[in-house]
Amino acid sequence: MRVVVLNGVNLDVLHRRDPDLYGGMSLNQLESHIYEWARELELLADCRQTNSEGEYIEWCHDALDWADGVIVNPGAWTHYSYAIRDALELFGAPVVEVHLSNIEQREEWRRHSVLEGVVAERVLGKGPDGYREALAFLAERRS
């Protein structure tokens, strides 16, 4: 099973963000964990990160042709990018929304996700382990 992991805006500076909210590791460290967990679950993962919303959407379109599962953490785009929502809505494969922090317990503006309704699962506030949970969710649904 091939899984694409799409990380969005500001996740490239994860190591500079509040460790109590975001887990205290760099994006490279996080991706290393994701690849290790994917191997353990017999998944093939492809991790990508961008600060460009257009590129993020292009990656969604590209993955339509090959991904059997999708994990997304669009960062702040979660709260307002209907373009990303529309791109994810095209997937026949399951999409899992992951956030390192629990966005439902943060500032009011962060509590709304435009992705609700197009994702099969949401994993919130579990730090880096949220990605492991998302991979496990997809592995359980492999065809």
Instruction: Give the active site residues.
Output: 22, 99
DSSP class of residue 80 equals T
Residue 27 three-state SS: helix
Tokens in use for 141?
């649904």
Residue 81 three-state SS: coil
Separation between Cα atoms, residue 31 and residue 19, nearest integer Å: 17
Residue 71 three-state SS: strand
The residue with tokens 């993020």 is 56
The residue with tokens 């435009």 is 114
Contact 110, 80 (CB under 8 A): no
